[in-house]
Structure formats: structure tokens, C-alpha cells
């Protein structure tokens, strides 16, 4: 297949932080679900999330019986003293029969290609590949079939990437928005000493504290004050990039306001340019969130396929998505840059 020539499939890839979430995604129209093991080999390493071998086997059976795919995220970076745990995770994934593994580390890609040549490889967003040259390197050297792009490119830049690579391109379409280039952020590691890129948790739970004070509910990350909430405000999970900080005697969201990416209105353009899959963020979210978001996106994708020229997001869809968005608001993120 020549660069710029891509399959017609436009897969809906949905998060599964648990077996009930996996079933919710499948039941509401996901083409693929993505998940991780219960350890630091994946970038959502939180207590109560993810899959052991038994749950993975049950999830694969449930998805396969309904014609859906299961992708396994092994998207953190092993270190010199723990390499065997990551290679064992590759072996476990291959043995379970997942449809693909999502990797960021080149060494793991080399191991997977050598030990399990039949295993399909996807380049994780944690690999931070923002150019077709980088994606083509991973494809030529390690045989990756798909790349998930970081949420920092405009649609015009995405189109350029697609035009110059044979790899399938997957884009984030909805969910929490990271202001940084994924895989390159050191804020949480600086504050806590625990790297999300190696240990799998941005703002790890062991470092998080909520404390009721005379000034309001305070949230802290390893002792650092991230936010302070009035009694009528809902206290969010403390992450450095989404805290309110005092700057020049003014307190506001100095780095990023809590809001969710929502690209529903760009569906016709994404389909036309050859995007292979749209990804929903949220493995840390509830099965109810997964069900609601998956159902809206399934309906929207099907409507866009039927009549792309006249597609427009329905107000009801946007209302449903806003209910589960951070801050109950949404943005087009970097995809929309009218000044360029």
C-alpha cells in the first residue's frame, strides 16, 4: 500500500478500565476496546483499574463473540532493573490472543517483533511521534501497523502525516485533554518523584490529599497546593497542569482549564483524509461514562457515513457529551487553528 493510501475502515476505539467497562463499550457500539494489565506496564496504573489474566480472557471472549477487537496498552517505558516484567507482559498479551499491543518503547517493539512476529503492533501516543518521518521509522524498523498521534497537531498537519505514511493513523476524538506532548511531560515526576512514563500514573494516588480547611477544600499533590474549592464547588483530582495558581496577584488556571476534547464536528474531514480510527480517552472513567460516550460516537459515525456532506452534530449528542466532560465544557484542542 502506497503512502497516503489507507483502508476505508473508521474504527471507534473505546476505553476499558474494567470488565464491566469493556462490556459497556462493546454493547454500545465500539469496534475496538483498549485496556491494560494491573501493573506499571500501562499508563493508567491506578488501584481498582485494569485486567488480570482471567478478566482479560473473559473480555476477549465477550468482544470476539460480538465481532469486536481487543487492544492491550503496554505503553510505559521499562528501566534497566525491571525489563523482564515488560517482556513478560508482551508474552502474556500474545498468549491471550489480543488483536494488537500498543507500545511506546523501541526495545519492547524489537522484542515483540522477534519473539512474536505474528503480533500486530501499534505505536502509542506515549511514543510522541508527531511527524511522518518518525512514524515511518517505527514502521520500517519495527513493523508497526498503526500510530496514535499526540493531541498537539492541527488537522492540516494530521493530513500531511497521513499522506506520507503507510501506517494507519488513529486520532483522539473525545476525552481528557493533555496540554503537553504525551510521553514528554515531567510535571508529575517533578512533583512526586514518580514518572507517569515509567510508572504509569500521572499524579499517583499515594501523593494525593484532600483536606478541609477554613479557606475551603484544598487538594495537594505531594504537599504542593494544586487547588482550593469553595463549598459549592466540586473538588477535582489534583494534577499540576489543571490547578489554579496565583500569578501576578491573580488566581486562575494558569496552564490549562479543565475541559474535554470533543471533535465530533470534524468527523467528515477526518473520514475524508483517511483517518483509520478515532479514540475515546477514559480508562479511568466509569462504565456509565464509557456507555454514554460510546453510544453518542457510534450514532454520529454511522450518521456521517450515511451522509457526510450534510453531517452536523446533533444538539442532543453535544449535551450528552458535555455532561461527562471536564468542567462540563469542550474544546477542539489543537486540531482547530483558524489563524494558520
Taking residue 207's Cβ as centre, other Cβ atoms within 10 Å add up to: 18
DSSP secondary structure code for residue 237 in this structure: P
Q: How far is CA 254 from the centre of its chain?
A: 24
DSSP E strands: which ranges in the chain?
11-15, 32-35, 69-74, 100-103, 121-123, 146-148, 168-176, 208-213, 216-221, 224-229, 244-247, 250-253, 260-262, 277-280, 330-331
Q: What's the CA gap between 251 and 191, in Å, rounded?
A: 20
CA distance linking residue 108 with residue 264, whole number of Å: 34
Sole residue written with cell 480547611: 213
This prediction's pTM = 0.89
pLDDT at residue number 186: 79
Spatial separation of the C-alpha atoms in residues 202 and 162, rounded to whole Å: 30
H-state helical runs in 143-221: 155-163, 187-192, 196-199
pLDDT, one tens digit per residue, over 319-336 is: 999 998 876 667 777 777
Run of H or E residues at 269: helix 267-273
Can you read off the three cell numbers belonging to residue 172?
483522539
Domain ranges of the chain: 11-177+259-335, 201-253
- Alpha-carbon distance of 23 to 2, in angstroms, equals 36
User: What pLDDT, in 10s, does the model give residues 269-290?
Assistant: 999 999 999 999 999 999 999 9
Could you count the other beta carbons within 10 Å of the beta carbon of residue 190?
12
Q: Candidates 3.90.1150.10, 3.40.50.620, 3.20.20.380, 3.30.1330.120; correct CATH number of 11-177+259-335?
A: 3.20.20.380
Kindly state the cell numbers that stand for 257: 482549564
Angle at the Cα of 107 from the Cα atoms of 106 and 110, rounded to 5 degrees:
85
Distance CA 196, CA 173 (A): 22
- Give the C-alpha separation, 336 to 340, whole Å: 9
Beta bridge partner(s), residue 12: 278
d(CA 237, CA 208): 8
Q: Which residues pair with 304 in a beta bridge?
A: none
Set of cell numbers at residue 316: 442532543
Distances in Å between the alpha carbon of 204 and those of 38, 136, 234, 244? 14, 34, 20, 19
pLDDT of residue 258: 73
pLDDT reported for residue 195? 77
Low-confidence ranges of the chain (pLDDT < 50): 5, 339
pLDDT of the residue at 301: 97
pLDDT at 267 (0 to 100): 97
Question: In a 3-state reduction of DSSP, which class is residue 262?
Answer: strand
Kindly state the DSSP code that residue 164 receives in the 8-state scheme.
T
Give yes or no for a contact between 219 and 226, defined as CB atoms under 8 angstroms apart. yes
Amino acid at each position: 500500500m502506497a503512502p497516503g493510501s489507507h483502508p476505508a475502515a473508521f474504527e471507534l476505539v473505546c476505553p476499558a478500565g474494567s470488565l464491566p467497562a469493556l462490556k459497556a463499550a462493546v454493547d454500545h457500539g465500539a469496534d475496538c476496546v483498549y485496556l491494560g494489565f494491573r501493573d506499571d506496564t500501562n499508563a493508567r496504573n491506578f488501584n481498582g483499574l485494569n485486567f488480570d489474566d482471567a478478566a482479560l480472557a473473559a473480555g476477549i471472549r465477550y468482544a470476539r463473540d460480538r465481532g469486536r477487537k481487543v487492544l492491550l496498552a503496554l505503553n510505559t517505558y521499562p528501566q534497566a532493573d525491571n525489563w523482564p516484567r515488560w517482556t513478560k507482559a508482551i508474552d502474556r498479551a500474545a498468549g491471550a490472543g489480543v488483536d494488537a499491543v500498543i507500545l511506546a518503547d523501541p526495545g519492547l517493539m524489537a522484542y515483540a517483533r522477534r519473539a512474536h512476529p505474528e503480533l500486530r503492533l501499534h505505536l502509542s501516543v506515549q511514543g510522541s511521534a508527531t511527524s511522518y518521518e518518525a512514524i515511518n521509522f517505527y514502521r520500517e524498523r519495527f513493523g508497526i501497523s498503526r500510530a496514535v498521534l499526540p493531541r498537539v497537531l492541527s488537522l492540516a498537519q494530521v493530513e500531511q502525516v497521513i499522506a506520507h505514511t503507510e501506517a494507519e493513523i488513529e486520532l483522539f476524538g473525545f476525552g481528557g485533554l493533555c496540554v503537553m506532548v504525551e510521553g514528554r511531560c515531567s510535571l508529575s515526576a517533578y512533583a512526586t518523584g514518580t514518572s507517569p512514563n515509567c510508572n504509569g500514573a500521572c499524579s499517583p494516588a499515594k501523593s494525593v490529599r484532600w483536606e478541609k480547611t477554613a479557606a475551603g477544600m484544598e487538594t495537594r499533590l505531594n504537599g504542593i497546593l494544586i487547588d482550593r474549592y469553595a463549598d459549592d464547588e466540586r473538588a477535582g483530582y489534583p494534577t499540576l497542569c489543571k490547578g489554579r495558581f496565583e500569578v501576578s496577584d491573580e488566581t486562575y488556571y494558569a496552564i490549562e482549564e479543565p475541559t474535554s476534547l470533543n471533535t465530533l464536528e470534524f468527523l467528515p474531514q477526518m473520514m475524508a483524509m483517511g483517518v483509520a480510527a478515532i479514540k475515546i480517552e477514559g480508562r479511568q472513567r466509569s462504565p456509565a461514562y464509557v456507555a454514554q460516550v460510546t453510544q453518542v460516537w457510534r450514532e454520529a459515525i454511522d450518521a456521517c457515513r450515511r451522509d457526510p456532506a450534510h453531517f452536523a452534530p446533533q444538539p442532543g449528542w453535544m449535551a450528552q457529551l458535555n455532561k461527562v466532560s471536564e468542567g462540563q465544557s469542550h474544546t477542539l484542542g489543537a486540531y482547530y487553528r483558524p489563524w494558520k
